[in-house]
A and B are shown apart, each in its own frame.
Chain A
């Protein structure tokens, strides 16, 4: 059975990028590759071969939904779950992101001590 070890994190804010990396690596024991833009993620996703992708919604240039659309042309997001991260909380929006192919939404601000667990939960649900 496939395991959750490698996470691709796409986020343009350096502070959030750093804290998520520390939280996922130290608490969850995952291997994290941080990308600063959607384009960066597209360039690296196949080489890194992640088990899970965390995608910020609001990024300059290519935003989260656009990135997701392009990534799903490169890899099978049925096998590699994608979750959005955003500060917006309207339920309608969460539904909208699901309809784009995301498994779930992690709300910002997040608790660094809990992030790894949240990711693991979404991953397990996605894997059935």
Chain B
């Protein structure tokens, strides 16, 4: 019972990427603890900080190597040993503690990479895909200025982008490393073939096709059909609206690297249940199988499935009965239920669906058909559940949810003795954008800022759309000076973006205000202060970031 190795490999890569994101948060935490250790002025508090450092280093030492961060694993293990020695030696000497602290702080400044090719991993493809958390994009565009502009913009969004003007150069780069996506211009007057012919041939050569975005001056039906046949996931006319292109890339990756869907199977036939599990797992889903319908509650609660597959005929309790039981609970109303059955009588299928349940899959079913049926339901269910709590234009949290986040982080900051920053951002002269270029252009600007924020902020940060063109970000464990640096960088990158509507290029700026938690401030005061700082930024000329007084 072995999952096809490339799926497993992809799954492990996803977990490594998630671990890399965790590092981005944990390494600064280590530096923060090192700072606390340095500032501690009695042995008891030194001991407390050392204990906390030792535990965190221990965790990192165990995990880093498992995810391929070999040298980080070795460094943290050595530091853990040092922490243990210091815990024993605190009374005797204080001298060398300084070096230990410096080592820790240096560690958090360093970039760590996944080091590949342990002997035991199954055959890796000839050219490995980039495995870091940053997505790598190759651009083939024969006009140097356009290509370079695209590269810069995508880099601003946090991608690792490379630009090539000739097919030969792109080919050479592909030999070294495969990107996560390709952007290809169709019209290449200097080459023997069109960009699409090249892309189609390239996709044939690869084990798995790469996400492809196509840019062109011809947007006729034939070209679009050719693009789809070459595996294009996006099609853009020149001049290209790059933020829109970026939005499409983001969607591609969300689909590709999103969390696996969770599927619960209830079938009294153990063999069949494990067969279905295997098929769905090899399609990168997480599966739990259940043979006794009476166990349904604990599985629904702990596993929280996104789709339930029910056998129709089970002893003791039929599928439709079990579906009705599931539907009795309000929490599970949204979970799609698919029946698995040998039943081909349409009228009996109908009567089962009328009781409860959403779909019927008839046994025997091919592996592909099963995957397709479950995948479609799961995807839809997840989209819907996101849509209910998230803003539809930007995918960010809605007003009430982000506001709640402010209160949560304030409380956490007070408990942990750290500082959190609250940032209110507003797009400058947004009404003018809508008036001059139309509402779709305005929406595009809002989406671009949302994506930029998502790319540049940490995973622990919360981000919401507060009002029409107003955004709110909550940055835990982030003192105001640091927040100022981060947000100012985002402000500059946003101002550098070029939007295009019907051939006219325009740029937009933003203003932001930052407030910071302290001992006796309420959540609403925090928001008010950030709002006042934003107002001050607007008053003093816009396109700037101001701190609350």
Q: Chain A residues with Cβ under 8 A from B7's Cβ?
A: 26
Q: Is there a chain B Cβ closer than 8 Å to A61's Cβ? A: no
Q: Chain A residues with Cβ under 8 A from B66's Cβ?
A: 16, 19, 108-112
A-B residue pair count with CB separations less than 8 angstroms: 72
Chain A min CB distance to B66 (Å)? 4
Q: Is there a chain A Cβ closer than 8 Å to B55's Cβ? A: yes
Q: Is there a chain A Cβ closer than 8 Å to B48's Cβ? A: no
Closest to A26 in B: B3
Contacting pair B122 A15 (CB below 8 A): no
Main DSSP-derived SS at the B contact region: helix
* Contact of A29 with B63 at beta-carbon distance under 8 Å, contacts A109-B73, A114-B120 already known: no
Closest to B281 in A: A26
Q: Is there a chain B Cβ closer than 8 Å to A86's Cβ? A: yes
Contacting pair B11 A13 (CB below 8 A): no
Contacting pair B1 A22 (CB below 8 A): no
Bound CA–CA A47/B302 (angstroms): 13
Q: Which of A25, A29, A60, A113 contacts B120 (CB 8 A)?
A: A113
Contacting pair A15 B2 (CB below 8 A): no
Stretch at the interface among B12-20, B144-152, B185-193, B341-349: B12-20
Most B Cβ at <10 Å: residue of A27, A60, A108, A111: A108
Q: Chain B residues with Cβ under 8 A from A87's Cβ?
A: 58, 61-62, 77, 80
List 8 tightest A-B contacts by C-beta distance, closest first.
A109-B65, A29-B1, A108-B62, A26-B3, A87-B62, A109-B66, A26-B8, A15-B19
Residues on A facing B (Cβ under 8 Å): 13, 15-16, 18-19, 22-23, 25-27, 29, 47, 58, 60, 85-87, 108-114
Q: Identify 29 residue pairs between A and B in the complex whose beta-carbon atoms are under 8 Å apart, listed by A's number.
A: A13-B59, A15-B15, A19-B12, A19-B67, A22-B8, A22-B11, A22-B15, A26-B3, A26-B8, A26-B281, A27-B2, A27-B8, A47-B298, A58-B55, A58-B59, A87-B58, A87-B62, A87-B77, A108-B61, A108-B63, A109-B63, A109-B64, A109-B65, A109-B66, A109-B67, A110-B66, A112-B12, A112-B66, A113-B120
Give 7 new A-B contacts, CB below 8 A, not counting A22-B12, A87-B61, A109-B64: A26-B3, A26-B8, A60-B55, A87-B77, A109-B62, A109-B63, A112-B66
